[in-house]
Amino acid sequence: MTTQAEGFVWTSAPMATDRTPGWRAFREPGDVHQGADGMWFLTSPEAVQSAARRPQIFSSALAYGVLQSPVPLIPLAIDPPDHKKYRTVLDPMLAPRVIDAMAESLRHQARELVETFADRGECDAVADLARLYPTQVFLTLFGMPLEDRDQFILWAETIIEHASPDGSLEPAPELVAASDALVKYLQGYIDQKRSRPADDMLSRVLELSGEDAWSNDEVLGLCFLFTLAGLDTVTAAIGFSLLQLARNPDVRRQMVGDPKLVVPVMEELLRLELPAPMSPRVTTEEAEVCGHVIPAGSTVMLCYAAANRSPEAHPIPDEIDLNAGDHGHLTFGSGIHRCLGSHLARRELRLVLEEFHKLIPDYDVAPGAEPEVVWPAGNLHLTSLPLVFPRR
């Protein structure tokens, strides 16, 4: 059986100021359906998991190959069996114990950023905090100088801003120029680390030898992917979290009063507002998902954000629910392509929430401001988040 959602145009879903009606529009045609443009959408946890657990059939390499990246996007755009050799190396480098060793440095950086505006009584939480912190963390992780932060952000934002959401458009000149500049910058530090290794993730990858050694393009691809997938997404998560807590003062006050609630609140915020809400795949053969037949060669979107708000999986699907227990979420994906940096992303968000609320426990969205996202887009993030709060 096949199901086509007549007239469903995913780019027209209402997302700008509130994602709730947008993801509801994705779910309404069913857990598996084909849109007006021929693309397939999987919108329930069961459907998403069904595809994520069959990476040989639902190919990530074919899906991301259309992006015309100047380097291989490792390990995201790699299918089995090659995918395993990269994750075997990288997973231990981003394990919780490794993140724990960085925690105090990362906490200090978060607090320093919040301190720059805590006395002002107002800030743009995106420009003053969310936009800056993840890049500082990336530079720390890869042993690159923090003074390069602003240039790094400019390159990454230019690439993300001009990227086609589904890879169907020719790359814009601005994207090509920024990609070339970023690759040149990363190559310079790869060359430097080869001759002068240090205690950082990039040096450890370069120290691999024999059959385990990576080619130069593979190392470049890892750095390039981290820049695009690990910066804008955490920036978005910070912005979305502070927006939700500004709109839900009762939840915020509970969390401030009981620090043990930071983690469950954070997980609910991650469930509701996904920076990377969908992930593309291309079928290598005909596949059945939840009783629906998807032809070979089809583009399929794993709609994590829609699945995260499934009424069947979550009793209060569109609100922060601290009483539902651990129902889990798909914000970091599933299967072999589950987010490589999930432990780091969680730690970054937790540290920001802790340090921000120590200094600014009470705040609101600035009067007249209506925080929005740009849609359609591959990744979602707030363009700005003006907040007001009592001066310290």
Of residues 163 and 256, the one with the higher pLDDT is: 256
**pLDDT for position 345:** 96
φ and ψ at residue 277, rounded to 5 degrees: -75, -20
pLDDT tens column, 19-64: 999 999 999 999 999 999 999 999 999 999 999 999 999 999 999 8
**pLDDT for position 228:** 77
Q: Half-sphere exposure of 281 toward its Cβ, with a 13 Å CA cutoff?
A: 32
Range name among 1-15, 206-220, 247-261 with the lowest pLDDT average = 1-15
pLDDT tens column, 82-113: 999 999 999 999 999 999 999 999 999 999 99
**pLDDT for position 229:** 79
**pLDDT for position 1:** 54
**pLDDT for position 72:** 82
- The pTM of the full predicted model, rounded to 2 decimals, is 0.93
Contacts of 161 (CB under 8 A, 6+ apart): 174
**pLDDT for position 292:** 97
Instruction: Assign residue 27 a region (left: φ > 0; alpha: ψ between -120 and 50; beta: otherwise).
Output: alpha
**pLDDT for position 378:** 82
| C-alpha triplet 353, 358, 270: angle, nearest 5° | 10
Which tokens belong to 269? 């915020």
Sequence spans of domains, the chain: 10-388
**pLDDT for position 12:** 95
CATH 1.10.630.10: does it fit domain 10-388? Answer: yes
Question: How far apart are the C-alpha atoms of 319 and 94, rounded to whole Å?
Answer: 31
Range name among 229-243, 244-258, 313-327 with the lowest pLDDT average = 313-327
Tell me, what amino acid is at 118?
A: A
Which tokens belong to 59? 């190919």
Tell me, what amino acid is at 93?
A: M
**pLDDT for position 4:** 54
pLDDT band at 224 (very low <50, low <70, confident <90, very high): confident
Whether 66 shows a pLDDT value over 70: the answer reads: no
Question: How far apart are the C-alpha atoms of 280 and 264, rounded to whole Å?
Answer: 29
Tell me, what amino acid is at 157?
A: E
Whether 2 shows a pLDDT value over 60: the answer reads: no
Whether 164 shows a pLDDT value over 70: the answer reads: no
pLDDT tens column, 199-219: 999 999 999 999 889 999 999
Neighbours of 113 (CB within 10 A): 20
pLDDT tens column, 290-337: 999 999 999 999 999 999 999 988 989 999 999 876 668 999 999 999
Q: Percentage of the chain surpassing pLDDT 90?
A: 80
Tell me, what amino acid is at 126?
A: V
| Mean pLDDT for all residues in the chain | 92
Whether 134 shows a pLDDT value over 70: the answer reads: yes
| Residue 230 vs residues 152, 246, 285: alpha-carbon distances, Å | 13, 25, 31
Question: How far apart are the C-alpha atoms of 15 and 18, rounded to whole Å?
Answer: 6
pLDDT band at 3 (very low <50, low <70, confident <90, very high): low
pLDDT tens column, 335-380: 999 999 999 999 999 999 999 999 999 999 999 999 999 999 888 9
Whether 162 shows a pLDDT value over 60: the answer reads: yes
| Residue 260 vs residues 250, 270, 272, 298: alpha-carbon distances, Å | 16, 17, 20, 45
